[in-house]
């Protein structure tokens, strides 16, 4: 079916231009590819213009009364058809036969614990059932997710199933990105964002139902939410609370929520053969890639899912696999490699959901995001190296690091389960049966017991919850960790000596940032450099994906990077330079390419910056700027980060000042060859050693000036200052 209007060359060209853009999310539905321009909100007026008349055309001519709204030009008709098919698909999910019983149970009970196998349809279906049953007429239906990626991708999926535009009736909210509107009735959000919503709406008055999903993940935010939502059910008898989880913790959740009934959704599960290695693997990355290739050449069709600990490993594995299959050409079947991790751009994330073509095999390289939060159909083989990246925290030293740790038995079982969703499968564990039985913990330790609580304590204090020791924790954090957080907030000036929130603390709590970053933002006012600090905060919040270092152009990339470090200004100021120069070019993409800067990360930094600026206005901080006052900027940074101070040792390593620990400057830092005498660092990362990442040089007397209650003169006395340290050191004489 075609019409002249549909063929309108001007519109078609415009639509095709959009389709080429990265902002498009691609979905494979049946055999049709749908492209959604959801990610690019800035251009939404434009694409509405492009598609409006085609939509009308489809609705009038192809599917009368259909709810289809957005699609690419060529596949529009097919797209409309397949959306209908999608409604049929919804009925095949394991949860569907339980729809009525589930809704009845929700009517009957205020709090319900829901347990169901991953992939049974909890996250995507329950909010829609509630909407269909009329709950959305009373208030919003909220659903929390521990992960950003899951919140976005699930919202996109549900919008698609309901035939609405993402951000309208169905939306999501993640830190620094609010894709919702006044019309939003189903809202997916990260658990951290719901926590922040408590600050503006402590009784969640705009919600009729709240679903705390993936509860088994036991993230810090989810654990705090438990206490807060439990409290709400006491004074809002009409709100419904659902706690849903994939695994075996249902009993524990039920106990915590005063014996709330458990609703079990029986999963469809096919047997999974578990294979162990005979001896421990020395190099699991190597072992995993070899196993992928072995499966690919010896096993019947079916996709492969491999669990890695992070982006670096996934990229390395992708590289190895591509290298080893190069040149094999038609000797082996096509292998489609799909990475998935939190920082992956959303259009590339969508690739993992695309149907695998006949004769090819999909290999998904994932972090533990694919353990329970995302379900990928068609997986028949799982490779589990047995590790994940986990946060760990020492209240004694106050240091937090990400450590590669063996997974728990529960996590290993979840991983194996991913192979048996659509047919019988196999799970290759790259560890021995003995080590599974004897070395792995039964369950993962909840995050609340292995993380810094500064953020959460500040949040709870601003909600007026003062007695933290008696907060209703499902599993309480170590008392030492709580004390440490209180002490840190006191040192930052957010709490007074009675443990009450100060005016500064109240302002800090407005920012969705770590208290140290918030502090540095709020005090930038005093140093008259809020414009510079807000840029630095935004750049730091993007993470370590600003500089791009392609394998074949490392020297060029490193040179480009060092240009920003001219004068050894330090990493924070180099990031500031990157942003300001980009801004001077009017945010040019070409400039990013030339300087080996990732344009995507820069755009994200710009978005974050805009939002932080808005928040600064809210706490009544005027924009101030003095780019040449490097000392002022560094002092503002130090005001937040005086905890993170280290001093150079004779052997070229560093010692942290309080709670002495040996650390080094990360090789990627502009100061890694300079070795200043005193430094402030942004974070520690543990790889082969404890590295400080993002470092600036400071003068030790600033510490006493800025944090007199934390540093005394004797802490910063610098007997060896006149001796030059080893190497090309440049000592500060003070």
Q: How far is the CB of 151 from Mg ion (least distance, A)?
A: 11
Question: Which 375-394 positions form the footprint of ligand CDP (CB under 6 A)?
Answer: 375, 377
Q: How far apart are CA 154 and CA 160, in angstroms?
A: 10
Q: Within 10 Å of residue 650's Cβ, how many Cβ atoms?
A: 9
Contact range with ligand CDP by CB under 6 A, out of 102-110, 111-119, 253-261, 614-622: 111-119
Contact range with ligand CDP by CB under 6 A, out of 3-11, 104-112, 122-130, 460-468: 122-130
Q: What is the dihedral of CA 213, 217, 223, 229, to 10 degrees?
A: 10
Within 8 A by CB and 6+ apart from 195, the residues are: 221, 224, 225, 228, 456, 459
| Beta-bridge mates of residue 697 | 679
Contact pick of 77, 80, 93, 513 for ligand CDP (by CB under 6 A): 93
Q: Does 123 bind ligand CDP (CB under 6 A)?
A: yes
Question: Smaller CB distance to ligand CDP: residue 268 or 323?
Answer: 268
Contact range with Mg ion by CB under 5 A, out of 122-130, 185-193, 645-653, 700-708: 122-130
Tokens of 281: 């693997």
Residue nearest to Mg ion (CB): 123
Q: Does 355 bind ligand CDP (CB under 6 A)?
A: no
- Whether residue 75 contacts residue 205, with contact meaning beta carbons closer than 8 Å, is answered with no
Tokens of 97: 């036969």
Contact pick of 69, 99, 122, 561 for ligand CDP (by CB under 6 A): 122
| Beta-bridge mates of residue 245 | 115
Q: How far is the CB of 353 from ligand CDP (least distance, A)?
A: 5
Q: Does 145 bind ligand CDP (CB under 6 A)?
A: no
Q: How far is the CB of 414 from ligand CDP (least distance, A)?
A: 11
Q: Does 638 bind Mg ion (CB under 5 A)?
A: no
Q: Does 128 bind Mg ion (CB under 5 A)?
A: no
Q: How far is CA 237 from CA 139, 209, 226, in A?
A: 14, 11, 16
Q: How far is the CB of 410 from Mg ion (least distance, A)?
A: 16
Contact pick of 73, 120, 488, 535 for ligand CDP (by CB under 6 A): 120
Contact pick of 176, 226, 257, 353 for ligand CDP (by CB under 6 A): 353
Q: What track of x and - describes contact with ligand CDP for positions 181 through 200 (by CB under 6 A)?
A: --------------------
- Whether residue 360 contacts residue 280, with contact meaning beta carbons closer than 8 Å, is answered with no
Can you say how many angstroms the Cα of residue 463 is from the centroid of all Cα atoms in its chain? 25
Contact range with Mg ion by CB under 5 A, out of 56-64, 117-125, 630-638, 717-725: 117-125
Q: How far apart are CA 523 and CA 536, in angstroms?
A: 14
Tokens of 694: 């993002």
Q: Does 124 bind ligand CDP (CB under 6 A)?
A: yes
Q: Report DSSP letters for 643-676, one per residue.
A: TSEEEE-TTS-EEESSS--EEEE-TTSTTTTT--
In the list Mg ion, ligand CDP, none, the entry touching 153 (Cβ below 5 to 8 angstroms by class) is ligand CDP
β pairing state of 379-384 and 177-179: unpaired
Contact pick of 38, 102, 113, 154 for ligand CDP (by CB under 6 A): 154
Question: Smaller CB distance to ligand CDP: residue 125 or 247?
Answer: 125
In the list ligand CDP, Mg ion, none, the entry touching 93 (Cβ below 5 to 8 angstroms by class) is ligand CDP
DSSP class of 43 = G
Q: Does 141 bind ligand CDP (CB under 6 A)?
A: no
In the list ligand CDP, Mg ion, none, the entry touching 405 (Cβ below 5 to 8 angstroms by class) is none
11-17's contacts with Cβ under 8 Å and 24+ in sequence apart are: 11/50, 11/53, 11/54, 11/73, 12/73, 14/46, 14/50, 15/47, 15/50, 15/51, 15/72, 15/73, 16/73
Q: Within 10 Å of residue 358's Cβ, how many Cβ atoms?
A: 8
Q: How far is the CB of 68 from ligand CDP (least distance, A)?
A: 18
Tokens of 405: 């740790």
Q: Report DSSP letters for 230-286, one per residue.
A: HHHHHH-TT-EEEEEESSTTHHHHHHHTTT--EEEEPPP---EEEEE-SS--S-HHH
Q: Does 123 bind Mg ion (CB under 5 A)?
A: yes
Q: Does 222 bind ligand CDP (CB under 6 A)?
A: no
Question: Smaller CB distance to ligand CDP: residue 122 or 666?
Answer: 122
Q: Within 10 Å of residue 6's Cβ, how many Cβ atoms?
A: 18
What's the chain's length in residues?
Answer: 734
In the list ligand CDP, Mg ion, none, the entry touching 512 (Cβ below 5 to 8 angstroms by class) is none
Contact pick of 119, 167, 454, 670 for ligand CDP (by CB under 6 A): 119
- Our separate counts of H helices and E strands in the chain read 29, 23
Contact range with ligand CDP by CB under 6 A, out of 34-42, 119-127, 380-388, 456-464: 119-127
What is the binding site for ligand CDP (CB under 6 A)?
A: 93, 116, 118-125, 153-154, 157, 353, 375, 377
What is the binding site for Mg ion (CB under 5 A)?
A: 123
């Amino acid at each position: 079916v075609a019409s002249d209007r549909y063929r309108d060359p001007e519109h078609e060209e415009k639509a095709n231009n959009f389709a080429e853009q990265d902002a498009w999310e691609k979905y494979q539905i049946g055999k049709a590819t749908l492209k959604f321009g959801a990610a690019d909100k800035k251009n939404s007026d434009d694409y509405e213009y492009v598609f409006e008349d085609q939509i009308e055309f489809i609705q009038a001519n192809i599917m009368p009364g259909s709810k289809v709204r957005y699609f690419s030009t060529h596949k529009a008709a097919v797209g409309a058809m397949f959306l209908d098919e999608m409604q049929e698909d919804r009925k095949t999910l394991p949860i569907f036969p339980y729809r009525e019983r589930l809704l009845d149970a929700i009517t009957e009970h205020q709090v319900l614990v829901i347990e169901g196998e991953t992939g049974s349809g909890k996250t995507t279906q329950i909010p829609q059932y509630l909407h269909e049953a009329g709950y959305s007429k009373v208030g919003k239906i909220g659903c929390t997710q521990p992960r950003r990626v899951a919140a976005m991708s699930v919202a996109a999926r549900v919008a698609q199933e309901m035939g609405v535009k993402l951000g309208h009736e169905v939306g999501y909210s993640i830190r620094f990105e609010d894709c919702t509107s006044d019309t939003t009735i189903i809202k997916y959000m990260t658990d951290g964002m719901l926590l922040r919503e408590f600050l503006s709406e402590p009784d969640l008055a705009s919600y009729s139902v709240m679903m705390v999903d993936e509860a088994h993940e036991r993230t810090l935010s989810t654990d705090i939410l438990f206490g807060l939502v439990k409290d709400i059910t006491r004074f809002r008898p009409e709100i419904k609370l659902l706690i849903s989880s994939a695994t075996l913790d249902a009993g524990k959740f039920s106990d915590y929520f005063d014996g709330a009934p458990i609703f079990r959704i029986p999963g469809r599960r096919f047997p999974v053969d578990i294979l162990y290695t005979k001896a421990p693997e020395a190099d699991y990355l190597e072992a995993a890639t070899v196993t992928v290739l072995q499966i690919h050449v010896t096993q019947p069709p079916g996709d492969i899912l491999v669990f890695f600990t992070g982006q670096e490993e996934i990229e390395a594995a992708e590289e190895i696999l591509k290298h080893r299959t190069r040149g094999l050409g038609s000797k082996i079947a096509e292998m489609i490699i799909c990475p998935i991790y939190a920082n992956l751009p959303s259009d590339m994330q969508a690739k993992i959901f695309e149907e695998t073509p006949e004769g090819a095999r999909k290999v998904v390289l994932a972090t533990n995001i694919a353990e329970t939060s995302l379900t990928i159909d068609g997986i028949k083989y799982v490779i589990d190296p047995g590790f994940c990246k986990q946060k760990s925290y020492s209240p004694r030293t106050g240091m937090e690091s990400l450590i590669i740790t063996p997974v728990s038995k529960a996590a290993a079982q979840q991983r194996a389960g991913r192979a048996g969703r659509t047919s019988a499968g196999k799970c290759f564990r790259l560890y021995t049966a003995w080590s599974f039985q004897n070395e792995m913990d039964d369950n993962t330790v909840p995050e609340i017991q292995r993380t810094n609580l500064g953020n959460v304590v500040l949040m709870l204090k601003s909600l007026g919850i003062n007695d933290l020791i008696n907060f209703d924790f499902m599993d309480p954090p170590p008392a030492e960790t709580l004390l440490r957080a209180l002490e840190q907030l006191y040192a930052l000036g957010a709490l007074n000596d009675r443990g009450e929130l100060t005016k500064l603390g109240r302002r800090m709590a407005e920012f969705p940032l770590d208290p140290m970053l918030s502090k540095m933002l709020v005090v930038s006012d005093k140093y008259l450099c809020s414009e510079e600090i807000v840029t630095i905060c935004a750049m730091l919040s993007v993470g370590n994906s600003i500089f791009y270092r392609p394998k074949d152009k490392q020297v060029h990339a490193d040179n480009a990077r060092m240009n920003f470090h001219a004068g050894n200004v330090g990493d924070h100021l180099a990031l500031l330079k990157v942003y300001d120069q980009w801004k001077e070019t009017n945010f040019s993409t070409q400039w990013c390419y030339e300087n080996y800067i990732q344009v995507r990360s820069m755009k994200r930094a710009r978005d974050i910056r805009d939002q932080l600026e808005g928040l600064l206005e809210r706490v009544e901080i005027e924009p101030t700027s003095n780019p040449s006052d490097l000392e002022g900027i560094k002092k503002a940074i130090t005001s937040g980060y005086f905890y993170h101070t280290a001093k150079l040792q004779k052997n070229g390593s560093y010692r942290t000042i309080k709670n002495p620990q040996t650390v080094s400057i990360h090789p990627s830092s502009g100061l890694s060859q300079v070795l200043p005498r005193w430094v402030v660092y942004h974070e520690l990362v543990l790889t082969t050693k404890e590295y400080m990442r993002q470092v600036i040089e400071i003068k030790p007397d600033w510490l006493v000036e800025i944090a007199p209650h934390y540093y005394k003169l004797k802490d910063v006395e610098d007997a060896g200052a006149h001796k030059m340290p080893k190497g090309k050191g440049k000592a500060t004489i003070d």
